[in-house]
């Protein structure tokens, strides 16, 4: 729906009463809810194949409703007792899957992966440059500029976090990728050496476990070797792919994650709970306090006790923070990890099936083998097109498919040319739905090409 038309409908649903509290109009309320649902992306539909947020396990929505009603901010134990205990419990449960023993590591929830990445990078910077928090840039030797090494396909939130920290794009060292869109370990050291010659002092290496573009998993074990040798903080952005740790069949894709200094993990992606629910892990509990160094008498107690020991306010940016862990903990408590593992396994198998279907169609080309539940591909018309025309065609196809409303897919540039992108988050999608999508894409291409 066009924004102006939607705004007109929304305004029409607003009471005109301004002198007193209006009576509850149940029909108006029903119309508001209907408009909200009808105009949003239908994440529970088998035609939804385009983004990394998903339909939620229904019970998680009930718990989220309770959280909204009781309204207990969870950065401090006294305000949200059960959420803080649940956060500690889930830290132990998921930390065990990472490969860490309880007691040595720490976890804190944050409102989204972007904030988790920023928080981890702040901790990394403050560990390497201890006086930076109090003195700013003057704490760094003027002959060297702090820098962060990232994969060329890293999520934009990492570059955005660097900008927030005063580290410009010129101080991001973009590491080359291999043919599978992963950081190429063989070319990391030369890139870091070249950065050092430019006066950059790299303090952190950011790897990805499930890149946003194609779902690639960087070789964490080999990158951990390099980080250890060069005394770099290793941060893993596993916002999408860290959930594969729940699966015995797929956990190997994150081999080496236990050696990371920090890990971002979005439960609102592949663990199917309402957004936001992000988990930020630190291998060393002491380093989890490095991001923020402040005193505030109105929230931070001078004499810690058994209650304040569960506070997370010193580790996360938010003071007022939703008790986001409750949706994940409640599902884990009631159903156990198999609920998540079975769904993740199914979706990844389904994506492999999608690759097989595309590979068998002469007018489609898959662009990579899927490592999880993301697959990029292109539709090829009957006659050859140059890269510019092929790029425009993929974008036009995506737009026509979206406007028709039966399917929702996304697009991404691969090798500088647009590609269509599947993200399979709904376990009710079948091979038949995938074939219906291909027919829809063909129809959209014919319309665009005028035949």
Residue-by-residue pLDDT tens, the chain, 451 positions: 889 999 999 999 999 999 999 999 999 999 999 999 999 889 999 999 999 988 899 999 999 999 999 998 887 777 788 999 999 999 999 999 999 988 899 999 999 999 999 999 999 999 988 877 777 766 677 667 899 999 998 988 999 999 999 888 889 999 999 999 999 999 999 999 999 999 999 999 999 999 999 999 999 999 999 999 999 999 999 999 999 999 999 999 999 999 999 999 999 999 999 999 999 999 999 898 888 764 443 344 556 666 666 666 677 778 788 999 999 999 999 999 999 999 999 999 999 999 999 999 999 999 999 999 999 999 999 888 999 999 999 999 999 999 999 999 999 999 999 999 999 999 999 999 999 999 999 999 999 998 6
> Are 355 and 255 found together in one domain?
no
Q: Is residue 125 part of a domain?
A: yes
> Are 319 and 346 found together in one domain?
no
> Are 197 and 157 found together in one domain?
yes
Query: Residue 332, Cα to own-chain centre: how many angstroms?
Result: 20
Which residues are 410's β-sheet partners? 421
Predicted local distance difference test score (pLDDT) of residue 296: 41
> Are 230 and 350 found together in one domain?
no
How big is the chain, counted in residues? 451
What is the DSSP pairing of strand 262-266 with strand 233-237? parallel
> Are 416 and 359 found together in one domain?
yes
Q: Which two tokens stand for residue 305?
A: 């006790």
Rounded to the nearest 5 degrees, what angle is found at the Cα of 109, between the Cα atoms of 105 and 115? 110
Q: How many domains does the chain have?
A: 2
Return d(Cα 367, Cα 99) in angstroms, integer: 33
Q: Is residue 4 part of a domain?
A: no
> Are 249 and 158 found together in one domain?
yes
User: Who's near 59: CB < 8 A, 6+ residues apart?
Assistant: 330, 331, 334
Return d(Cα 298, Cα 90) in angstroms, integer: 28
Q: Is residue 54 part of a domain?
A: no
Q: Is residue 89 part of a domain?
A: yes
> Are 83 and 185 found together in one domain?
yes
> Are 251 and 399 found together in one domain?
no
What is the per-residue burial (b if ≥16 Cβ within 10 Å, else e) of 56-92? bbeebeebbeebeeeebebbbbebbeebbebbbebbe
> Are 310 and 355 found together in one domain?
no
Phi, psi dihedrals of residue 41, rounded to the nearest 5°: -65, 130
Show which of 310, 335, 360 is a domain's final residue. 335
> Are 270 and 367 found together in one domain?
no
Predicted local distance difference test score (pLDDT) of residue 297: 39
Show which of 335, 353, 379 is a domain's final residue. 335
Predicted local distance difference test score (pLDDT) of residue 266: 97
User: Who's near 45: CB < 8 A, 6+ residues apart?
Assistant: 408, 426
Quick: pLDDT tens for 39-56: 988 999 999 999 998 889
Domain holding 389: CATH number?
Answer: 3.90.1150.10
* Sequence-distant contacts of 442-448: CB under 8 A, at least 24 apart: 442/363, 442/379, 444/396, 444/397, 444/400, 444/401, 444/404, 445/379, 445/381, 445/393, 445/397, 447/400, 448/393, 448/396, 448/397, 448/400
* Sequence-distant contacts of 171-177: CB under 8 A, at least 24 apart: 171/145, 171/146, 171/147, 171/200, 172/147, 172/148, 173/147, 173/148, 173/149, 173/200, 173/202, 174/150, 175/149, 175/150, 175/151, 176/152, 177/151, 177/152, 177/153, 177/216
Predicted local distance difference test score (pLDDT) of residue 299: 41
Q: Is residue 137 part of a domain?
A: yes
Give the structural domain span for 391: 338-449
Q: Is residue 292 part of a domain?
A: yes
Q: Is residue 357 part of a domain?
A: yes
Show which of 335, 351, 372 is a domain's final residue. 335
Quick: pLDDT tens for 287-318: 988 887 644 433 445 566 666 666 666 777 78
Predicted local distance difference test score (pLDDT) of residue 311: 65
Predicted local distance difference test score (pLDDT) of residue 303: 60
């Amino acid at each position: 729906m066009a924004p102006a038309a939607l705004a007109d409908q929304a305004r029409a649903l607003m009471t005109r009463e301004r002198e007193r509290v209006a009576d509850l109009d149940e029909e108006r309320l029903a119309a508001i809810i209907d408009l909200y649902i009808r105009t949003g992306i239908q994440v529970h539909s088998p035609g939804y194949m385009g983004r990394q947020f998903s339909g939620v396990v229904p019970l998680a929505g009930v718990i989220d409703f309770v959280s909204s009603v009781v309204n207990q901010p969870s950065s401090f134990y006294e305000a949200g007792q059960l959420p803080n205990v649940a956060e500690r419990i889930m830290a132990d449960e998921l930390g065990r899957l990472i490969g860490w023993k309880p007691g040595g590591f720490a976890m804190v929830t944050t409102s989204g992966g972007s904030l988790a990445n920023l928080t981890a990078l702040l901790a990394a910077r403050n560990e390497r440059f201890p006086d930076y928090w109090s003195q700013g840039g003057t704490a760094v030797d003027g002959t060297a500029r702090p820098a962060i090494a990232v994969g060329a396909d890293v999520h934009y939130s990492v570059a955005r976090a660097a900008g927030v920290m005063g580290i410009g794009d010129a101080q991001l060292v973009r590491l080359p990728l291999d043919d599978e869109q992963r950081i190429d370990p063989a070319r990391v050291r030369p890139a870091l050496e070249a950065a050092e010659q430019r006066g950059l002092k790299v303090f952190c290496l950011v790897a990805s476990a499930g890149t946003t573009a194609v779902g690639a998993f960087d070789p964490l074990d080999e990158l951990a070797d390099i980080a250890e040798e060069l005394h770099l903080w290793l941060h893993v952005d596993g916002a999408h792919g860290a959930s594969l740790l729940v699966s015995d069949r797929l956990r190997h894709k994150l081999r080496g994650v236990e050696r990371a200094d920090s890990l971002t993990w979005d439960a609102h992606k592949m663990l199917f709970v309402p957004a936001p629910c992000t988990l930020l892990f630190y291998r060393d509990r002491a380093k989890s306090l490095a991001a923020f160094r402040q005193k505030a008498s109105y929230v931070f107690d001078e004499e810690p006790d058994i209650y304040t020991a569960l506070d997370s306010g010193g580790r996360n940016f938010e003071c007022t923070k939703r008790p986001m862990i409750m949706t994940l903990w409640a599902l884990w408590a009631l159903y156990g990890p198999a609920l998540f593992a079975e769904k993740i396994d199914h979706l990844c198998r389904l994506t492999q099936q999608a690759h097989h279907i595309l590979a068998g169609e002469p007018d489609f080309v898959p662009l990579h083998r899927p490592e999880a539940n993301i697959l990029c591909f292109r539709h090829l018309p009957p006659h050859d097109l140059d890269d510019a025309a092929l790029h425009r065609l993929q974008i036009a196809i995506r737009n026509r498919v979206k406007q028709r409303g039966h399917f929702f897919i996304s697009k991404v540039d691969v090798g500088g040319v647009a590609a269509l992108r599947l993200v399979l988050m709904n376990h009710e999608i079948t091979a038949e739905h995938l074939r219906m999508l291909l027919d829809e894409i063909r129809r959209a291409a014919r319309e665009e090409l005028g035949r």
